[in-house]
Structure 1
């Protein structure tokens, strides 16, 4: 007897109600969304229109004159892909790597910088609401196309940590203003020139909202020549300045005593001439030495934090460095 039952038509992803498709995308990580985007033209258009959140945690970019690498990590992912956009004689070669596996594609007659910038712009359009833990950029020179994308981005990048390695201070100001100051907690600046005596002009940087709202600073492999008062709001840091005076250290100490937010700050300086022993002793009192017969530093001072069981500890080392830290009260003598 013939079977007259009608076969039900197959239902694909694009045939599902819009609310179901949105729910699928909301529960997918960024790698799954990118794969779903390749399923069909309709699904790709739907994803491009809806722009589901990627929920990225870390973005790391490394630029050279021959290639650009990007590292992406989502909130719930152990594996993170590395994508390389390489300059090729025929165009742009893309290498996608994950652990021991990798795939290579060649886009003929395409510029590797332009391809990267297009894809970076696409990625960031899906990072609207969630806040990155870290956004890092290593680039001796910032490509003009990348600058254009940052300027055109309607929403500044939301990240808790911004780290940048580059040649000069001017490159920093091409990128720093495009970080959302509301979410910034830590700034890290590194010089790719490997010259510890290179001077960076920080005048514009210290005036930025990003600088003023961050609480942790690391600026090494170069020195800056701005007054120490510009660093008062950092509760943790590691940075190098041209010189410090006893008066500046006294103001910094008073700032830490009043704010009670100090964790640990390490300061290096090039010129020790302005830091006079006589002025130090006049402002801070006589230093304490753990072992007077064998002095390992220029002196240590302790200052009680009012209404707490902690003290501000200042150590002045011989190697043109000093350190402020917050320690418990069970310490050697206290200066008031």
Structure 2
């Protein structure tokens, strides 16, 4: 029997499909060959807001969708090796489907075949895309054959090498990417952090980003983060002039939220006091300065903990501790 959808005018049917989420589109593709061919040809938007590829050592896809009525939809697909092939498990907010066994297919190949189906329906920029190392190289292979760049506001890369990070970034739209998180363990051989990622700082992805978080990669110059509204990372050492530069920069930067930097070398607090003045508020192991922001209801809070952890944050004046002195900028 012909699906009622196929009896509608093409424009009407496409408009209806536009409001379907990924899970609904995946189900519609299984109704009949005619509907599947129409969906694959016209690529209706799947309304996926978040995608996760991989989870540690596990071959997984996870889609988070949101339809027009704001009812969240979630689909998780896991792939594991099996005798002469792989098994595929699927869970959604509506329950689980029976475990399927696919003969003669590698789990990662099966995952990427399903991801290619999703790519056919991708039009709207994603809110978040998370990629684990296990899926990086297979994703690179299929993206090299694509004629478009993935658009996402947030990108999270987990356990990728520096070469993989630079390779995968070029398949994302730098103008769309505003929030970048890179989580990488310390070097397994030496146990030491992975050093300064000079190549990343020179990319348009770094220059265009507004919020960046690095794990175990170091910045070498505070000016590399002076354009950011939010930053979390590490640095070997900095001068008092660097701290003054950061304070003066972020007190003027519209939309600035906070930075958090861990240093390897302790700061000389007396020298900071000479540059900033006496702390506005201090407790054991922590010194805080509050700087007035003219024509604003917030202040710039600079905090140094254990002489090696620097936090600069814009906070509301109501959050200033009683008795703390606000320093005129």
Q: TM-score, normalised by structure 2?
A: 0.86
Runs of 5+ consecutive residues of structure 2 not aligned to the other structure? none
Does the C-alpha gap of structure 1 residues 122 and 60 become closer, same or farther in structure 2, counting only changes over 3 Å? same
**C-alpha RMSD over aligned residues:** 2.6
Cα 1:308–1:16, aligned 2, differ >3 Å: closer, same or farther? closer
CA drift of 1:74 comes to: 1.2
SS of the counterpart of 2:62?
Answer: strand
Picking from 52, 63, 74, the partner of 2:65 is 74
Residue by residue, what CA displacement relative to the aligned partner does 1:247-284 show, whole Å, maximum 9, x if unpaired?
A: 21111111112224322221111222xx3345423322
Q: Does the alignment pair 1:34 with 2:26?
A: yes
Q: Which residue does 1:198 correspond to in 2?
A: 193
Residue 209 of structure 2 corresponds to 214
Taking the aligned partners of 1:260 and 1:26, their CA distance within structure 2 comes to 37
Deviations 1:103-130 (A, max 9, x none): 22222111222222222122022112x1
Runs (4+) off by over 6 Å: none
Matches within 5 A, 1:170-249: 170-193=163-186, 197-220=192-215, 222-249=216-243
1:200 & 1:173 partners in 2: Cα distance?
A: 15
Matched, 1:43 2:31: no
Which structure has the larger Rg over C-alpha atoms?
1
1:23 paired to 2:15: yes
Out of 174-183 and 67-76, give the one that drifted further. Answer: 174-183
Q: How far apart, in 2, do the equivalents of 1:290 and 1:237 lie?
A: 24
Measure, in 1, the Cα distance between the counterparts of 2:268 and 2:76: 52
How many angstroms does 1:225 deviate by? 4.0
2:296 maps to 1:296: no
- Say whether 1:326 aligns with 2:314: yes
After superposition, the Cα gap between the structure-2 partners of 1:11 and 1:223, relative to the gap in structure 1 and judged at 3 Å, is closer
CA distance in 1 between counterparts of 2:2 and 2:131 reads 47
**Unaligned stretches of 5+ in structure 1?**
1-8
Distance in 1 separating the partners of 2:147 and 2:90: 28
Q: Displacement of 1:244 after TM fit? A: 2.1
Cα shift at 1:82:
0.6
C-alpha displacement at 1:212, in angstroms? 1.7
1:91 aligns with 85
**Which residues in structure 2 correspond to 1:106-145 (within 5 Å)?**
106-128=101-123, 130-139=124-133, 142-143=136-137, 145=138
Q: Is the 8 A contact 2:179 2:211 kept in 1?
A: yes
**Deviation of the 1:136 alpha carbon:** 0.8
TM value normalised by structure 1: 0.84
Helix, strand or coil at the partner of 1:178: coil
1:182 CA drift (Å): 2.2
CA contact (8 A) 1:270 1:320 kept: yes
CA 24–306 in structure 1, closer or farther in 2 if over 3 Å, else same = closer
